[in-house]
Structure 1
Amino acid sequence: MFISFEGIDGSGKSTQARLLADALRAEGRDVVLTREPGGSPGAEEIRRLVLEGDPDRWSAETEILLFTAARRDHMERTILPALAAGKIVITDRFADSTRMYQGLSRGDLRGIVDQLHALMIAREPDLTFIIDMDPAKGLARAKARNGHEERFEDFGEGLQARMRDGFLALAREFPGRCQLIDGDRAQEAVAADVAAIARKSLAWTARA
């Protein structure tokens, strides 16, 4: 099964992806926890290009190409081999982030994102958790990390607000795949809801 976590910066999706992986491993399941951009050697090199530096380092169009290249390598090297081996793959971000960050929030480029995705990736997660968070709170959390990968956070709260609206719309667009989770709670409460939904989906997949 292929599971992705999405949401604005600081929403807690990385923590929830890790907690779900830990919970499923504790049940004896074979889980690969990965991330985007990154998750394979080549994709990690591209990660440094797109997440560091000035906000205006790349145009949205160039970013779409870079993210798609990273995702293709991630699929070839990590995701598809793990799924073929019968493992559960959990990724912190996937194509929905590109649909939001480059496709909607910085121009009307969603069509280009979807065309490249269909041509070069042609795979959606089986289950996507969208961790919802107030943009101001999420950005404050993200900036408090004081990391080096802050290029998108430096676009400010306006981008985060547009992103949140986009993710909420995405949940409505793909109701069979996307599960909207309230992230403005204790991480244990969020993790319990996520784990319950994941276990139900895994049980359904096993029966199918």
Structure 2
Amino acid sequence: MFIISFEGIDGSGKTTISKIIYEKLLIEIGSNKKIILTSEPFSQEIIKLIEEIGWKDPISLALLFTADRAYHLNLLFKQNPEIIIMDRYIDSTIAYQSSLGIDENWIRNLNKYFPEPDLTILLDLKPETAIARIKNKVDKFNFDEKISTLSKVREKYLELAKRNNKIRIVNAEKSIDEIVEETWSIVYSFLNHF
């Protein structure tokens, strides 16, 4: 089983790009392999709790994301997939919660029983670009606070990428066609080596 995760700050295009790559995989190798596209957080009950807590309690958020991940992976593994495409995974919890002051090692310990992704696509872009992409999707939005938060999260993602050779950075400032082309090249090359 291979896990390919898509990471990046809010507005980086994770959902769009992961879906396109999933569809391309179905066309290329879908009849030969069981491929699943999924995202985190997964459980509607936990999503409600996360929305209720907001950013006020990063420890509770980290615990909720981890509980959701345990539940989610249990359901996924029962399906015996050969490839799982994840829209967010462990690195999201690390990047977001550690940017709020939670110790990265504590978060890693919470997640140590979960499989690491075999490949992570980090869709990287400036927070200002991300804000421009998502500002119409959110009713109440504190742009200054969000840019500050996204800047910290982006820095953490880039730090993680420097320490982990399984993370490939894709410039998400480009056009969607260019992002898809670069991402597909990385994913296709990766899968052909296994």
Asked if the contact 2:35/2:81 (under 8 Å) is kept, the reply is no
Amino acid at match of 2:36: V
Q: Gaps (5+ residues) in structure 1? A: none
How far apart are residue 44 of structure 1 and its match?
2.8
CA deviation profile, 1:100-153 (whole Å, cap 9, x unmatched): 111x210042121011111xx331111000000111110221222237xx8998
What is the aligned partner in structure 2 of residue 125 from structure 1? Answer: 117
For residues 161 and 22 of structure 1, what CA distance do their matches in structure 2 show? 31
The normalised TM-score by structure 1 is 0.84
For residues 180 and 17 of structure 1, what CA distance do their matches in structure 2 show? 14
Write the mapping of 1:36-115 to structure 2, written as runs, cut at 5 A: 36-38=40-42, 43-50=43-50, 52-53=51-52, 55-56=54-55, 58-78=56-76, 80-82=77-79, 85-102=80-97, 104-115=98-109
CA gap of 1:151–1:33, structure 2 versus 1, over 3 A, is farther
Q: Gaps (5+ residues) in structure 2? A: none
Amino acid at match of 2:184: A
What is the aligned partner in structure 1 of residue 39 from structure 2? Answer: 35
Q: CA RMSD in A?
A: 2.1
Asked if the contact 2:123/2:170 (under 8 Å) is kept, the reply is yes
Q: 3-state SS of the aligned residue for 1:74?
A: helix
Q: How many residues align?
A: 190
Structure 1 segments (4+ residues) deviating >6 Å: 150-154
Amino acid at match of 2:132: A
For residues 154 and 31 of structure 1, what CA distance do their matches in structure 2 show? 39
> Quick one: percent identity of the two aligned structures?
31
Asked if the contact 2:6/2:122 (under 8 Å) is kept, the reply is yes
What is the aligned partner in structure 1 of residue 181 from structure 2? Answer: 192
The normalised TM-score by structure 2 is 0.90
